[in-house]
Amino acid sequence: MKKAARHHGCFVRALPRRTRLAFGALGLYSLAMAAHDPDEAFGKLSHVDAAGRAKMVDVTEKDDTKRQATAGGRIVMRRETLALIQQNGLPKGDVLAVAQIAGVMAAKRTHELIPMCHPLLLTGIDVTLTPNEARTCIEIEATVRTTGKTGVEMEALTAATIAALTVYDMCKAVDRGMRIESMRLKRKAGGKSGDIVLE
């Protein structure tokens, strides 16, 4: 276990700092969601066994239900950068289209990025990126749907986060001071916990 942890630590340290922060936040959110899942005892981390080791939750006995989750955030930038995006004037091409596709791809591969996530058959993924001139940012929202035994909160969060990172990658040549902010779950539906609306 300690050896595996050391290897994982080396892998994480090798990633770019912004990528480490993004995936680190997603990993922490995954654990926090387990603690607040009404299907589990309050305060009990379902991704940790009795010996304190990480584990994948066994969902074998759960019923398949329709599930949906929406997550979002924003990437703040200089006014000139936002104008370039809207004019499609950046060397790498159409920023919003590429970021949208990246978000869809990321949702489908969430289980490969977040260790204790289950592979899910996703039935719908919507990723939107909307320029906000008043706040000089791109507002990002991702909605993911499935019919299955576990929710799609992590898939929605991953889609929105990777879309934001893609915007950063596409624009970093002209604006390295961009900030990814307020990445959060907005609402979810389905499962034993039912509907949760956070905003």
Element (H, E) at 143: strand 137-148
Q: What is the pLDDT of residue 174?
A: 95
Q: How many domains is the chain built from?
A: 1
For residue 192, the model assigns a pLDDT of 81
Question: How high is the mean pLDDT in each 10-residue block of the chain (199 residues)?
Answer: 43 52 56 45 62 78 92 98 96 95 98 92 98 98 96 97 98 96 96 86
Return the structure tokens found at 83: 């104008």
Active site annotation includes 175: no
What is residue 159's predicted lDDT score, i.e. its pLDDT?
98
Give me the pLDDT at residue 4, please.
42
Question: What pLDDT is attached to residue 41?
Answer: 40
Check residue 78 and give its pLDDT.
Answer: 97
d(CA 135, CA 123) in angstroms, rounded, equals: 33
3-state class percentages of the chain: helix first, strand second, coil last, to nearest 5:
40, 25, 35
- The reported pLDDT for the residue numbered 2 is 42
Residue 13 belongs to a domain with what CATH number?
3.30.70.640
Per-residue pLDDT, 133: 97
Residue 149 has a pLDDT of 92
- Site of tokens 């320029």: 131
Catalytic residue among 39, 126, 169, 175: 169
Complete DSSP assignment for 7-43? HHHHHHHHS-HHHHHHHHHHHHHHHHHHHT-TTS-TT
Q: What is the pLDDT of residue 23?
A: 53
Q: What is the bridge-based pairing of β-strands 122-132 and 137-148? A: antiparallel
Domain encompassing residue 192? 2-197
How many CA atoms lie less than 13 Å away from 119 in the CB half-sphere? 1
